[in-house]
Amino acid sequence: MSNTRAACVIGWPAKQSRSPKLHGYWIKRHGIDGDYRIEERSPEEFPAFVTNLAGNGYVGANITMPHKDAALALSEPDARARSVGAANTLWLDNGRLRSTNTDVEGFIGALDAAAPGWHERTESAVVLGAGGASRAVVYGFIERGVKTVHVVNRTFEKAVALRERFGPSVQPAHWSDLPRLLDGAKLLANATSLGMTGQGDLAIDLGAVADDCVVADAIYVPLKTPLLAAAEKRGLKTSNGLDMLLHQAVRGFELWFNVRPQVTRELYNLLATDITRT
Ligand code: ATR
Protein backbone atom coordinates (compact mmCIF):
# COMPACT_ATOMS: atom_id res chain seq x y z
CA MET A 1 0.00 0.00 0.00
CA SER A 2 1.21 3.48 -0.84
CA ASN A 3 2.39 5.77 1.96
CA THR A 4 1.67 8.90 -0.06
CA ARG A 5 -0.36 11.44 1.90
CA ALA A 6 -2.80 13.29 -0.30
CA ALA A 7 -4.99 16.37 0.11
CA CYS A 8 -7.30 18.01 -2.38
CA VAL A 9 -9.43 21.05 -3.12
CA ILE A 10 -13.13 20.34 -3.43
CA GLY A 11 -15.27 22.78 -5.37
CA TRP A 12 -17.89 23.09 -8.11
CA PRO A 13 -16.29 24.15 -10.37
CA ALA A 14 -12.70 23.75 -9.16
CA LYS A 15 -10.59 23.42 -12.32
CA GLN A 16 -9.46 27.02 -12.04
CA SER A 17 -7.97 26.48 -8.56
CA ARG A 18 -4.40 27.60 -8.04
CA SER A 19 -4.03 25.48 -4.90
CA PRO A 20 -2.44 22.44 -6.65
CA LYS A 21 0.38 24.64 -7.94
CA LEU A 22 0.87 26.20 -4.54
CA HIS A 23 0.80 23.02 -2.43
CA GLY A 24 2.70 21.15 -5.14
CA TYR A 25 5.52 23.67 -4.78
CA TRP A 26 5.77 23.06 -1.03
CA ILE A 27 5.50 19.26 -1.39
CA LYS A 28 8.48 19.32 -3.77
CA ARG A 29 10.39 21.88 -1.72
CA HIS A 30 10.15 19.77 1.44
CA GLY A 31 10.71 16.42 -0.31
CA ILE A 32 7.39 15.09 1.02
CA ASP A 33 5.81 11.89 -0.26
CA GLY A 34 2.59 13.75 -0.90
CA ASP A 35 0.06 14.81 -3.49
CA TYR A 36 -2.54 17.56 -3.87
CA ARG A 37 -5.37 17.14 -6.38
CA ILE A 38 -8.53 18.81 -7.63
CA GLU A 39 -11.86 17.12 -6.88
CA GLU A 40 -14.86 18.64 -8.62
CA ARG A 41 -17.96 17.58 -6.72
CA SER A 42 -21.51 18.87 -7.08
CA PRO A 43 -23.51 19.94 -4.00
CA GLU A 44 -25.36 16.61 -4.24
CA GLU A 45 -22.11 14.62 -4.25
CA PHE A 46 -20.29 16.68 -1.64
CA PRO A 47 -21.67 15.24 1.64
CA ALA A 48 -20.93 11.60 0.76
CA PHE A 49 -17.49 12.51 -0.59
CA VAL A 50 -16.37 14.59 2.35
CA THR A 51 -17.68 12.33 5.09
CA ASN A 52 -15.64 9.50 3.56
CA LEU A 53 -12.48 11.54 2.99
CA ALA A 54 -10.13 8.77 4.17
CA GLY A 55 -11.92 6.21 2.01
CA ASN A 56 -11.42 8.52 -0.95
CA GLY A 57 -7.70 8.57 -0.24
CA TYR A 58 -7.29 11.91 1.51
CA VAL A 59 -5.95 13.17 4.84
CA GLY A 60 -7.58 16.56 4.37
CA ALA A 61 -8.99 19.10 1.96
CA ASN A 62 -9.50 22.71 1.04
CA ILE A 63 -13.09 23.65 0.47
CA THR A 64 -14.10 26.27 -2.02
CA MET A 65 -17.33 27.57 -3.57
CA PRO A 66 -20.09 26.55 -3.06
CA HIS A 67 -19.32 24.07 -0.27
CA LYS A 68 -17.99 26.18 2.63
CA ASP A 69 -21.30 26.20 4.53
CA ALA A 70 -21.90 22.48 4.00
CA ALA A 71 -18.33 21.71 5.10
CA LEU A 72 -19.00 23.55 8.35
CA ALA A 73 -22.18 21.57 8.98
CA LEU A 74 -20.60 18.19 8.17
CA SER A 75 -17.47 18.57 10.33
CA GLU A 76 -16.36 19.51 13.86
CA PRO A 77 -15.45 23.18 13.42
CA ASP A 78 -13.03 25.11 15.63
CA ALA A 79 -14.11 28.42 17.20
CA ARG A 80 -12.81 30.37 14.23
CA ALA A 81 -14.81 28.47 11.57
CA ARG A 82 -17.90 28.57 13.77
CA SER A 83 -17.64 32.34 14.30
CA VAL A 84 -16.97 33.11 10.64
CA GLY A 85 -19.75 30.72 9.63
CA ALA A 86 -17.73 28.89 6.98
CA ALA A 87 -15.06 26.17 6.80
CA ASN A 88 -12.38 26.20 4.11
CA THR A 89 -9.95 23.62 5.51
CA LEU A 90 -10.66 20.07 6.69
CA TRP A 91 -8.40 17.51 8.26
CA LEU A 92 -8.73 14.09 9.82
CA ASP A 93 -7.82 13.92 13.47
CA ASN A 94 -7.86 10.30 14.69
CA GLY A 95 -10.77 9.61 12.39
CA ARG A 96 -12.69 12.80 13.32
CA LEU A 97 -13.40 15.22 10.48
CA ARG A 98 -12.35 18.62 11.83
CA SER A 99 -12.47 22.05 10.21
CA THR A 100 -11.18 25.59 10.47
CA ASN A 101 -11.27 28.80 8.48
CA THR A 102 -7.80 29.78 7.29
CA ASP A 103 -9.05 32.81 5.33
CA VAL A 104 -8.68 34.63 8.65
CA GLU A 105 -4.96 33.95 8.97
CA GLY A 106 -4.60 34.45 5.23
CA PHE A 107 -5.75 38.00 5.52
CA ILE A 108 -3.96 38.74 8.78
CA GLY A 109 -0.74 36.97 7.67
CA ALA A 110 -0.66 39.02 4.47
CA LEU A 111 -1.07 42.24 6.46
CA ASP A 112 1.64 41.20 8.93
CA ALA A 113 4.03 40.62 6.03
CA ALA A 114 3.16 43.91 4.29
CA ALA A 115 3.04 46.15 7.36
CA PRO A 116 4.52 44.52 10.48
CA GLY A 117 2.98 45.85 13.70
CA TRP A 118 -0.02 47.35 11.87
CA HIS A 119 -2.44 46.36 14.63
CA GLU A 120 -0.50 48.24 17.31
CA ARG A 121 -1.25 51.57 15.65
CA THR A 122 -4.74 50.79 14.35
CA GLU A 123 -7.77 51.45 16.55
CA SER A 124 -10.31 51.34 13.77
CA ALA A 125 -10.66 49.87 10.29
CA VAL A 126 -12.88 50.29 7.26
CA VAL A 127 -14.03 47.08 5.59
CA LEU A 128 -15.88 47.16 2.26
CA GLY A 129 -18.34 44.30 1.82
CA ALA A 130 -20.34 42.05 4.13
CA GLY A 131 -20.18 38.62 2.46
CA GLY A 132 -18.10 35.53 3.24
CA ALA A 133 -14.70 37.17 2.68
CA SER A 134 -15.71 40.12 4.82
CA ARG A 135 -16.68 37.87 7.73
CA ALA A 136 -13.16 36.40 7.79
CA VAL A 137 -11.58 39.87 7.62
CA VAL A 138 -13.79 41.33 10.36
CA TYR A 139 -13.16 38.33 12.63
CA GLY A 140 -9.40 38.69 12.10
CA PHE A 141 -9.40 42.41 12.86
CA ILE A 142 -11.39 41.98 16.06
CA GLU A 143 -9.17 39.06 17.14
CA ARG A 144 -6.13 41.32 16.65
CA GLY A 145 -7.65 44.00 18.87
CA VAL A 146 -9.02 46.51 16.37
CA LYS A 147 -11.67 48.27 18.47
CA THR A 148 -14.00 49.58 15.78
CA VAL A 149 -14.60 47.96 12.41
CA HIS A 150 -16.74 50.05 10.07
CA VAL A 151 -18.45 47.66 7.67
CA VAL A 152 -19.60 49.45 4.53
CA ASN A 153 -21.96 47.51 2.29
CA ARG A 154 -24.35 48.15 -0.58
CA THR A 155 -26.99 46.05 1.21
CA PHE A 156 -27.00 47.70 4.63
CA GLU A 157 -28.86 44.81 6.34
CA LYS A 158 -25.94 42.50 5.64
CA ALA A 159 -23.60 44.91 7.46
CA VAL A 160 -26.07 44.93 10.36
CA ALA A 161 -25.99 41.12 10.34
CA LEU A 162 -22.21 41.28 10.89
CA ARG A 163 -22.76 43.39 13.98
CA GLU A 164 -25.20 40.78 15.24
CA ARG A 165 -22.62 38.08 14.54
CA PHE A 166 -19.52 39.79 15.94
CA GLY A 167 -20.88 42.32 18.44
CA PRO A 168 -20.60 46.06 19.02
CA SER A 169 -17.08 46.46 17.56
CA VAL A 170 -18.81 46.32 14.17
CA GLN A 171 -20.31 49.60 12.98
CA PRO A 172 -22.55 49.07 9.93
CA ALA A 173 -22.32 51.87 7.37
CA HIS A 174 -23.68 52.98 4.02
CA TRP A 175 -21.58 53.55 0.93
CA SER A 176 -22.38 57.29 1.26
CA ASP A 177 -20.58 57.30 4.66
CA LEU A 178 -17.25 56.45 3.02
CA PRO A 179 -15.77 59.97 2.64
CA ARG A 180 -16.26 60.56 6.39
CA LEU A 181 -14.90 57.12 7.34
CA LEU A 182 -11.84 57.41 5.10
CA ASP A 183 -10.82 60.77 6.55
CA GLY A 184 -7.70 59.86 8.55
CA ALA A 185 -8.28 56.09 8.12
CA LYS A 186 -5.35 53.83 8.95
CA LEU A 187 -6.65 50.53 7.65
CA LEU A 188 -8.85 49.85 4.62
CA ALA A 189 -9.80 46.41 3.31
CA ASN A 190 -11.80 45.59 0.20
CA ALA A 191 -13.80 42.39 0.58
CA THR A 192 -16.29 43.11 -2.22
CA SER A 193 -15.93 41.77 -5.75
CA LEU A 194 -15.54 45.32 -7.08
CA GLY A 195 -12.23 45.78 -8.91
CA MET A 196 -12.10 42.15 -10.03
CA THR A 197 -11.62 41.58 -13.75
CA GLY A 198 -15.08 41.57 -15.34
CA GLN A 199 -16.81 43.13 -12.31
CA GLY A 200 -17.62 46.78 -11.62
CA ASP A 201 -15.04 49.39 -10.66
CA LEU A 202 -14.27 50.40 -7.12
CA ALA A 203 -13.92 54.15 -7.36
CA ILE A 204 -12.52 55.40 -4.07
CA ASP A 205 -10.68 58.60 -3.28
CA LEU A 206 -7.74 57.84 -0.99
CA GLY A 207 -6.76 61.50 -0.73
CA ALA A 208 -7.83 61.91 2.91
CA VAL A 209 -6.57 58.65 4.45
CA ALA A 210 -3.66 58.76 6.92
CA ASP A 211 -0.15 58.79 5.42
CA ASP A 212 0.55 55.46 7.15
CA CYS A 213 -2.75 53.88 6.10
CA VAL A 214 -2.49 50.22 5.05
CA VAL A 215 -4.71 49.08 2.15
CA ALA A 216 -5.62 45.43 1.55
CA ASP A 217 -7.61 43.91 -1.28
CA ALA A 218 -8.90 40.33 -1.24
CA ILE A 219 -8.98 40.21 -5.06
CA TYR A 220 -6.14 38.55 -6.98
CA VAL A 221 -7.32 38.86 -10.58
CA PRO A 222 -5.91 41.34 -11.37
CA LEU A 223 -3.01 41.26 -8.90
CA LYS A 224 -2.96 45.04 -8.76
CA THR A 225 -6.54 46.26 -8.56
CA PRO A 226 -7.28 49.93 -9.26
CA LEU A 227 -7.62 50.38 -5.48
CA LEU A 228 -4.12 49.00 -4.85
CA ALA A 229 -2.70 51.03 -7.73
CA ALA A 230 -4.15 54.19 -6.19
CA ALA A 231 -2.79 53.21 -2.77
CA GLU A 232 0.70 52.62 -4.16
CA LYS A 233 0.58 55.94 -5.97
CA ARG A 234 -0.22 57.56 -2.63
CA GLY A 235 2.84 55.77 -1.12
CA LEU A 236 0.79 53.45 1.11
CA LYS A 237 1.61 49.88 2.14
CA THR A 238 -0.58 47.26 0.47
CA SER A 239 -1.37 43.57 0.39
CA ASN A 240 -3.26 41.78 -2.37
CA GLY A 241 -5.42 38.68 -2.76
CA LEU A 242 -2.49 36.51 -3.81
CA ASP A 243 -0.65 37.36 -0.57
CA MET A 244 -3.82 36.23 1.22
CA LEU A 245 -4.16 33.05 -0.81
CA LEU A 246 -0.58 32.05 0.01
CA HIS A 247 -0.87 32.81 3.72
CA GLN A 248 -4.21 31.01 4.06
CA ALA A 249 -2.63 27.85 2.61
CA VAL A 250 0.10 27.56 5.28
CA ARG A 251 -2.08 26.07 8.05
CA GLY A 252 -3.73 23.47 5.83
CA PHE A 253 -0.38 22.24 4.56
CA GLU A 254 0.89 22.00 8.14
CA LEU A 255 -2.19 20.05 9.26
CA TRP A 256 -1.93 17.54 6.40
CA PHE A 257 1.83 17.13 5.94
CA ASN A 258 3.20 18.07 9.40
CA VAL A 259 5.56 20.75 8.07
CA ARG A 260 4.96 24.49 8.40
CA PRO A 261 5.89 25.96 5.00
CA GLN A 262 7.14 29.44 4.20
CA VAL A 263 5.55 32.03 1.95
CA THR A 264 8.48 33.13 -0.19
CA ARG A 265 9.01 35.61 -2.99
CA GLU A 266 9.79 32.68 -5.32
CA LEU A 267 6.39 31.11 -4.58
CA TYR A 268 4.63 34.46 -5.01
CA ASN A 269 6.30 34.93 -8.40
CA LEU A 270 5.38 31.40 -9.52
CA LEU A 271 1.68 31.99 -8.85
CA ALA A 272 1.76 35.59 -10.05
CA THR A 273 3.14 34.46 -13.43
CA ASP A 274 0.31 31.94 -13.68
CA ILE A 275 -2.35 34.51 -12.82
CA THR A 276 -0.96 37.12 -15.19
CA ARG A 277 -0.73 34.58 -18.04
CA THR A 278 -4.37 33.51 -17.76
P1 ATR B 1 -17.50 36.54 -0.94
O2 ATR B 1 -17.77 35.19 -0.38
O3 ATR B 1 -16.36 36.58 -1.92
O4 ATR B 1 -17.40 37.58 0.10
P5 ATR B 1 -20.21 37.34 -1.45
O6 ATR B 1 -20.61 36.71 -0.17
O7 ATR B 1 -21.07 37.13 -2.66
O8 ATR B 1 -18.77 36.87 -1.89
O9 ATR B 1 -20.04 38.92 -1.18
C10 ATR B 1 -19.80 39.83 -2.21
C11 ATR B 1 -19.70 41.24 -1.62
O12 ATR B 1 -19.41 42.15 -2.69
C13 ATR B 1 -20.97 41.72 -0.96
O14 ATR B 1 -20.64 42.55 0.13
C15 ATR B 1 -21.64 42.51 -2.08
O16 ATR B 1 -22.55 43.50 -1.64
P17 ATR B 1 -24.10 43.11 -1.37
O18 ATR B 1 -24.12 42.43 -0.03
O19 ATR B 1 -24.81 44.40 -1.38
O20 ATR B 1 -24.49 42.19 -2.48
C21 ATR B 1 -20.44 43.16 -2.71
N22 ATR B 1 -20.70 43.58 -4.09
C23 ATR B 1 -20.75 42.79 -5.19
N24 ATR B 1 -21.04 43.52 -6.29
C25 ATR B 1 -21.18 44.80 -5.88
C26 ATR B 1 -21.48 46.04 -6.54
N27 ATR B 1 -21.68 46.10 -7.86
N28 ATR B 1 -21.53 47.16 -5.79
C29 ATR B 1 -21.33 47.13 -4.45
N30 ATR B 1 -21.04 45.99 -3.76
C31 ATR B 1 -20.97 44.84 -4.47
Per-run averaged pLDDT (10 residues), the chain, 278 residues: 90 95 98 98 98 97 96 97 97 97 97 95 96 96 97 98 98 97 98 93 93 96 96 97 98 98 97 92
How many angstroms is it from 259 CA to the middle of ligand 1? 35
Tally the C-alpha atoms within 13 A of residue 191's C-alpha that lie toward its C-beta: 28
Q: Which atom of ligand 1 is nearest to the CA of 155?
A: 19
The per-residue pLDDT for 1 is 57
Residue of the CA atom closest to atom 29 of ligand 1 = 154
pTM (2 decimals)?
0.95
Q: Which atom of ligand 1 is nearest to the CA of 129?
A: 14
Using alpha carbons, list the distances in angstroms from residue 218 to 27, 188, 221.
Answer: 26, 11, 10
| CA–centroid distance, residue 96 to ligand 1 (Å) | 34
21 is catalytic: no
> Is any atom of ligand 1 closer than 6 Å to the C-beta of 20?
no
Any ligand 1 atom below 6 A from CB of 158: yes
Classified as helix, coil or strand, 273 is: helix
Ligand 1 center from residue 90 Cα (angstroms):
26
Residue-level pLDDT at 278: 79
Give the span between the Cα atoms of 240 and 221, in whole angstroms.
10
pLDDT score recorded for residue 2: 73
Judged by phi (left if over 0) then psi (alpha if -120 to 50, else beta), residue 184 lies in left
E strands within the chain?
A: 5-11, 34-40, 60-63, 76-77, 89-93, 96-100, 124-128, 148-152, 170-173, 187-190, 214-217, 237-239
Q: What is the pLDDT of residue 203?
A: 85
Distance 35 CA to ligand 1 centre (A): 34
SS3 114: helix
pLDDT at residue 156, as a whole number:
98
For ligand 1, say whether the CB of 56 is within 6 Å of any of its atoms. no
**Selection from 78, 81, 172 nearest residue 132 by Cα:** 81
Instruction: Single out the catalytic residue among 68, 147, 158, 233.
Output: 68
Which atom of ligand 1 lies nearest, measured to the CA of 191? 4
Tell which residue, 91, 13, 19, has the closest CA to residue 249.
Answer: 19
> Which residue among 193, 201, 221 is best mutated to probe the pocket of ligand 1, counting the most ligand atoms within 8 A of its Cβ?
193
| Ligand 1 center to 225 CA (angstroms) | 16
Report the C-alpha gap between 49 and 54 in whole angstroms: 10
